[in-house]
Structure 1
Amino acid sequence: MTTNQFLCEVCNRGFQREQNLQLHRRGHNLPGKLKQKTNNEVRKRVYICPEVGCVFHDPSRAGEDLTAIKKHFSRKHSRKKFSCDNCKKKFAVHGDRKAHNMFCAKKEYICECGTTFST
């Protein structure tokens, strides 16, 4: 597995081949010597929430998992279109409503006198 060992010193974009970096550097109008990527410069890709006011919009608080950020955005910032039939609580994700229904289902009890009541 190859790594991006050639780094652009302006935007830190990495390239596997020196020629690709040289072509990229033309866009910055930079001639000259190339910078080699060292092990301590390896950066992980992070995903931020697109909602500007959200705490996860800050790259220092961002997640490394795109799926987690998508679920966060859906749950916290999207329209909640699924509602519980019992308590009318709303959910953005159908699976969340389904899990909620397991605990919110009406339980009916019949008293010895015949009266029905629910919790």
Structure 2
Amino acid sequence: MHAAADPDAEVVSLSPRTLLESDRYVCEICNQGFQRDQNLQMHRRRHKVPWKLLKREAGEAARKRVFVCPEPSCLHHDPSHALGDLVGIKKHFRRKHSGHRQWACSRCSKAYAVHSDYKAHLKTCGTRGHSCDCGRVFSRPFSFFTTNKQAS
């Protein structure tokens, strides 16, 4: 989701390390991460931060936040092409700038940097395409026939 060039939006630039962390909610005091906002709220109480400072004052509007990619050569590094949410920028950075593909399909060996992409792939892997006697699956018949000719 691309954010419109909103001059009032707060532009947030996170480090590559932060973008690769699996935790979505990070304590701004000690940088400890949590997967749920409620867990972060409970953790913040340990820092003895008054609850009233953590909540917006009544009637105060939340300022829109947009996230830029830390990679200078990336289109999304420009605030006018910033992404509108934290999950979106994390997935973008993992897909495009991280060489680490930790989830690999056991059927076709295709690997993914984003777990949701891997899960989506598993739903369709092997259900379409052209199978070879060796067990390999091709997405297009052209690849299937070309490889077979070369093997002969």
TM-score, structure 2 length as denominator?
0.39
Q: Which has the larger radius of gyration?
A: 1
Which structure has more relative contact order (CA 8 Å, sep 6+)? It is 2
TM-score, structure 1 length as denominator?
0.48
